[in-house]
Structure 1
Amino acid sequence: MASHDLAERTTEISRAGRQRAVTLVALSLTFALVQLDATIVNVALQTLRTDLGGGVSAAQWAVDGYAVPFAACMLTAGALGDRYGHRRICLLGFGLFGLASAAAALADGWPVLIGARVAQGAGAALMFPASLAMITGLYPEPRERSRALGVWGGIATLGFASGPLLGGVLITVASWPAIFWINLPVAAMVGGTIAVLGPRDRPQARRIHPGGTVLGTLALASLTAGIIEAGERRMATAVGALALGIVAGWLFTRLERRSANPLVPAGLTGSVSFRWSLVTGFCFNFAMYGALLCVSLTLQSAYGLSALAGGLAVLPMAVVVGVAAISGGFIAAATGPRRPMLLGFTCAGAGAIVTAAGGLAGSSALIVTGLAVIGLCCLAMPAMTSVALNASPARHAGLAGGSFNTARQIGGAIGVALLGAVLNAGGVRTGFTVALGIAAAASAVALLSTVEATARNRRAGPGGGRS
C-alpha cells in the first residue's frame, strides 16, 4: 500500500511539474507576443510610408503609439491584477490586444493605424505585469525564480529580436496587414492555455488610481511628441508639447505624494536597489529599441534593403538575444545578478560603438555586426528583472513588475523618439552616428546603475533576497 501511495505521489508531482513548465512557457509567450509587436513594425515602416504616405515622424508614432500606452498604463494594470486577480486581468488584456490587432490590419490610414496601436499597447499593459506576477507566484524561491526568468527572458526576447525577420517574411509573402493578423491565432492559443492552467491568485483589497494614469499618460505622450516634433524641426509645436509634458509630470508627482493610494507605494520606492533597478531598466530599453529603429530605417532607406533583407539583417541579433537571455538567467542563478548585468551592458556599449562606426564607414556589414553585439545586452535582462522583484515585498509583486517594466517601456518610447529624432535631423551618416553614440552612453549609465542596484544582492550572495 505504501509503495502504491508513493507511486501515486510521484506521478502527481511529475504531472504538477509538467503543468508548471507548460504554464511558464505560456506566460513567457505572453511577453514574447508583447515584444514581437514592439519590433515587428520596424521593417514595415518603409512599406507603410509608401502605402499610407507620411514621413519619419509618422513611422515613429507607429512604434511609439504602442510603446507610450504600454508604458503609461502598466502601473494601473499591475494594481488591477493585485485587486482582481492577475489571471483575470491577463485574459482581459489578450481580448483587447486581439481586437486591436484586427483593427490595425484593417486600417486604411495613419490615424486608424496609430489608434489601433494605442489600443494594442493598452492590451499589452494588461497582459504583461499580470504574466510576470504569475511567474513570481509559480516560483517563489529566488534561485528557482532566476532560472525561470532565464527561460522567460529567452522566449520573450526572441519575440523582440525575431519581430523584424518575421515582419519581413510576412510583408514579402503577403502584405503589411499580415504582421497584425498573425497576432490573432497566437493570442488565442496562448490566452487559452493561461485560461486553463494559469494560477488563481487571491485578490487583494487595493484602490485603483485613475488620475495618476491619466496624468502619467499625458506626460509621457507629450514628452514623446515634443521630441519627435523637434526632430521634424517644428519647434513651436515641440516646445508646447514638451511644456505640457513637464507640467503633467509635475502634477503626477504631486498627486502621487499626496495620495493615500499611490500607483507606486512607499514600500517599493523606499528600496534603494529597486530605485536603481528602474534606472537600469530604462537604459536597457532606451538603447535596444532606439538602436533597432535607427538600424531598420537606415538599412532600408540608405542602403536600399527590402523588408525581407532588412529582417534577415537582424537575424544575427535575434540568435544572440535568445541565447544571451537564457544564459543570463542561469549565470544569475549561479553567481548572482551583478556579473551578467555588467557583462551585458558592457557588450551593449561596445556594440553601439561598432554600429556607429559602421554608419560612418558606410558599411552595412559592420552595422549588422554591431547590432548583434548590442543583442548581448540581454544577458542582463533576467538578472535585472530578478533584482527588481527581489527588492520588493511579495505582496506588491504585480506593482513591482509593473513599475520595473514601466521604466523599461518609458525608456523604449523615449529611445525611439530621441534617437529617431536625431537620425531624422542629422541624416543617415551624422545623425545615425550620433544616435548610436547616445545609445552607447545609455549603456554606460546602465553599468553605473547596475553597481548600485546589485550592491545588496552581492552581499546576500547568489539568488539575492527579498527586501
Structure 2
Amino acid sequence: MHPDRRRTVALLALSLAFGLIQFDATVVNVVLGSMTRDLGGGLGLAQWAVDGYTIPFAALMLLAGPAADRFGRKQVCVLGFALFALATAGCALAPGWAALIGFRVVQGVAAAMILPSSLAMIGELYPGAAERARALGIWGGIASAGFAAGPPIGGLLAASAGWRAVFWVGAPIAILAGLAVWATVPDSPRHARPLDVRGATVGAAALALGTAALIELGQGRAALAGALAAAAVLATSAFVASQRVARHPMVPRGLLARGPFRGAAITGLVFNFALYGALLVVGLALQQVHGLTVLETGAAILPMTVVVALGSTASGFVTARTGPRPPMVAGFACAATGALVVAVGASHPSAIVTGMSLIGLASLAMPAMTSVALDAAPPEHAGLAGAVLNCARQAGGALGVAGFGALYNATGRTSTALAVTFGAVAVILVVGVVTSIGATAPGEQEVRSDAG
C-alpha cells in the first residue's frame, strides 16, 4: 500500500475509534426510558448507565496516556479495542442494572485506553501544524458524528429491535477498527516514565464521589448527597496533595504551566459539561414532557447530527487557515444561542429541534481546542497531552449528566424544568466563549507557515 494511502486509512481507523467511543457515550440517552421499563428502577440508575461509562473513561485516561507512551501506543490502542468489544457485548447481554453498569465501567476503561493513544498516533502521522489541524478536522468530524448519531440511531434500533441492539452494533465495529489500526499504524517510539497508579485511583474516586453527590441531590436525598460531597472534597484534597509530592505526578507541572494547554483543557471540560448534560435532558424531556416515542425522539435530534458532523469537519480546515480562536469562539457562541432558543421555546418541540441544531455548532470548537493542546505539548508527552484534554472533557461530561439531570429532576420534569435547565446550559456555554479566548490569547497561538 502506498504510504499516503496507508496514512489515510490509518487516520480513518483512528477517527472511527473516537467516533465509536462518542457513539457509546450518547447512544444510551435516547433508550434510557426503554431500559427503565425493561429493567425497572428510576432516573438515578439511568444516570449511572451513562456515568458508569464516562467516569472511568475520564479518570483513567491520565494513567492510560502515559501507559501508551511507555508500552506502545498501537499496542495499548488495539488492546483497548478488544476489551471494548467484549464489554459492549456484555452490555447487550446484561440481565439487570448491576451487570449493565458494570460492563459500562469496563467500556469506559477500554475507551480510556483507546482515545489518548489514538490521538497521539494522529499527531505522529501528521507532524505539521496545518496538516495536523486538517487531520484533526476529519478525526473530529467522524467523532462528532458518532456523538450526535447516538440518539437517532439508538432510537431507530430501540424501536425496531429493542434497546440491547444499540450495543450489538458496537462490538463488530470495535473489532474491525482494531484490526485496521494494527495493520496500518507504525509502531511509536516508547518513552519510559513511571505510572502514578495511586494518583489515578484517588482521582477516579474523587470524580465518582462528586458525580454520585449530584445524582443523589437530584433524587432528593440531601443527607446522602452531603456525605458524598464531603467525601469527594476529601478525595480531591488527597489527590492534589499526592500530586504535589509525587516524584512522577500524573501531569508534569511544566505541562500545566503552559497557558494554551491549560486553557484548552478547561475549555474541553466546559464543552462536554454542556453538551452531555443537554443531550441527556433533551432526550428525557422529549419523551416525558412532549410524549414522543423513542423513534420520534431520535428523529428530533437527527438535525443536530448533521450539524455536528459538518461543523467539526469544517473546524479543522478553518483552524489551519485562521488559527483556533475563530472556530472556538464561534462554536460556543452559536451553541449558547441555541440553548437560549430551547429555554425560550421549551414547550414547543420545533423550537427544541432548532435550538439543538444550533447547539450542534459547538462542534466547531472541538478539533480547534485539540489542536491548541497538541501544539502546546512537547512530542514526548503527546499521549499524555491527549489524555489530559480528554480526561477534562469526559470529567465535564460525567458532571454535566449528573448536574443537569439533577436540576431537571429537581425542578419537576416539565417544560418549565426544561427551560430552567437550558438557561443554565446557556450560561455554561458563555463560559466556554471566555475560556476559548483565554486559551488562544494573542502571542500564545499562531498560524504556522505550512498552512497551505
Q: Same fold (TM over 0.5)?
A: yes
Query: Is the 8 Å Cα contact of residues 337 and 384 (structure 1) preserved in structure 2?
Result: yes
Task: Quote how far apart the aligned CAs of 1:429 are.
Answer: 2.4
- CA distance in 2: counterparts of 1:351 and 1:336, whole angstroms: 24
What letter corresponds to residue 358 of structure 2 in structure 1?
V
Aligned partner of 2:351 in structure 1 is 366
242, 264, 283: which one aligns with 1:296? 283
- CA distance in 2: counterparts of 1:357 and 1:158, whole angstroms: 27
Aligned partner of 1:19 in structure 2 is 6
Query: Is the 8 Å Cα contact of residues 333 and 463 (structure 1) preserved in structure 2?
Result: no
Q: 1:464 to 1:49 in 2, by over 3 A?
A: farther
Q: For each residue in 1:240-267, what CA deviation from the matched residue of structure 2 results, as whole angstroms up to 9, or x when unmatched? A: 1111111101100010110011100122
Alignment of 1:399-438 (within 5 A): 399-427=384-412, 428-438=414-424
Query: Is the 8 Å Cα contact of residues 267 and 392 (structure 1) preserved in structure 2?
Result: no
**Structure 1 residue 124 corresponds to structure 2 residue 111:** yes
Task: Quote how far apart the aligned CAs of 1:458 are.
Answer: 6.2
Query: Is the 8 Å Cα contact of residues 104 and 113 (structure 1) preserved in structure 2?
Result: yes
Q: Quick check: 143-152 or 56-65, which moved more?
A: 56-65
Query: Is the 8 Å Cα contact of residues 153 and 382 (structure 1) preserved in structure 2?
Result: yes
- CA distance in 2: counterparts of 1:459 and 1:56, whole angstroms: 43
Aligned partner of 2:437 in structure 1 is 451
Task: Quote how far apart the aligned CAs of 1:74 are.
Answer: 0.6
Query: Is the 8 Å Cα contact of residues 336 and 463 (structure 1) preserved in structure 2?
Result: no
Query: Is the 8 Å Cα contact of residues 93 and 127 (structure 1) preserved in structure 2?
Result: yes
Aligned partner of 2:331 in structure 1 is 344
Secondary structure (helix, strand or coil) at the match of 2:9 reads helix
- CA distance in 2: counterparts of 1:202 and 1:146, whole angstroms: 22
**Structure 1 residue 111 corresponds to structure 2 residue 105:** no
Aligned partner of 2:157 in structure 1 is 170
What letter corresponds to residue 386 of structure 2 in structure 1?
G
Q: For each residue in 1:174-221, what CA deviation from the matched residue of structure 2 results, as whole angstroms up to 9, or x when unmatched? A: 111111111111011111100111221011111111101110110000
Q: For each residue in 1:308-345, what CA deviation from the matched residue of structure 2 results, as whole angstroms up to 9, or x when unmatched? A: 11111111000000000011111110111000111000
- CA distance in 1: counterparts of 2:134 and 2:241, whole angstroms: 39
Q: For each residue in 1:138-184, what CA deviation from the matched residue of structure 2 results, as whole angstroms up to 9, or x when unmatched? A: 00100000000000000110000001111111112211111111111
What letter corresponds to residue 257 of structure 2 in structure 1?
G
Alignment of 1:294-333 (within 5 A): 294-333=281-320
Secondary structure (helix, strand or coil) at the match of 1:206 reads coil
**Structure 1 residue 98 corresponds to structure 2 residue 85:** yes
Aligned partner of 1:137 in structure 2 is 124
Task: Quote how far apart the aligned CAs of 1:457 are.
Answer: 5.9
Task: Quote how far apart the aligned CAs of 1:462 are.
Answer: 5.0
CA RMSD of aligned residues (A): 1.3
- CA distance in 2: counterparts of 1:460 and 1:117, whole angstroms: 40
40, 46, 63: which one aligns with 2:50? 63
- CA distance in 1: counterparts of 2:400 and 2:249, whole angstroms: 27
- CA distance in 2: counterparts of 1:333 and 1:459, whole angstroms: 12
What letter corresponds to residue 324 of structure 2 in structure 1?
P
- CA distance in 2: counterparts of 1:464 and 1:422, whole angstroms: 47
Count, aligned residues: 450
Aligned partner of 2:22 in structure 1 is 35
What letter corresponds to residue 435 of structure 2 in structure 1?
S
Rg larger in 1 or in 2? 1
Query: Is the 8 Å Cα contact of residues 223 and 242 (structure 1) preserved in structure 2?
Result: yes
- CA distance in 1: counterparts of 2:289 and 2:424, whole angstroms: 21
Query: Is the 8 Å Cα contact of residues 332 and 462 (structure 1) preserved in structure 2?
Result: no
Q: Quick check: 430-439 or 115-124, which moved more?
A: 430-439
**Structure 1 residue 394 corresponds to structure 2 residue 413:** no
**Structure 1 residue 381 corresponds to structure 2 residue 339:** no
- CA distance in 2: counterparts of 1:128 and 1:403, whole angstroms: 11
Task: Quote how far apart the aligned CAs of 1:435 are.
Answer: 1.4
- CA distance in 1: counterparts of 2:212 and 2:99, whole angstroms: 18
**Structure 1 residue 245 corresponds to structure 2 residue 232:** yes
Secondary structure (helix, strand or coil) at the match of 1:460 reads coil
What letter corresponds to residue 312 of structure 2 in structure 1?
A
What letter corresponds to residue 355 of structure 2 in structure 1?
G
Task: Quote how far apart the aligned CAs of 1:73 are.
Answer: 0.5
Aligned partner of 1:261 in structure 2 is 248
What letter corresponds to residue 228 of structure 1 in structure 2?
I
Aligned partner of 1:151 in structure 2 is 138
Query: Is the 8 Å Cα contact of residues 289 and 415 (structure 2) preserved in structure 1?
Result: no
What letter corresponds to residue 402 of structure 1 in structure 2?
A
Query: Is the 8 Å Cα contact of residues 60 and 109 (structure 2) preserved in structure 1?
Result: yes
- CA distance in 2: counterparts of 1:146 and 1:377, whole angstroms: 17
Question: Unaligned regions of 5+ residues in structure 1, if any?
Answer: 1-11
Task: Quote how far apart the aligned CAs of 1:25 are.
Answer: 0.3
Query: Is the 8 Å Cα contact of residues 255 and 261 (structure 2) preserved in structure 1?
Result: yes
**Structure 1 residue 211 corresponds to structure 2 residue 198:** yes
Q: For each residue in 1:266-317, what CA deviation from the matched residue of structure 2 results, as whole angstroms up to 9, or x when unmatched? A: 2211101111111110111111111111100000111111111111111100
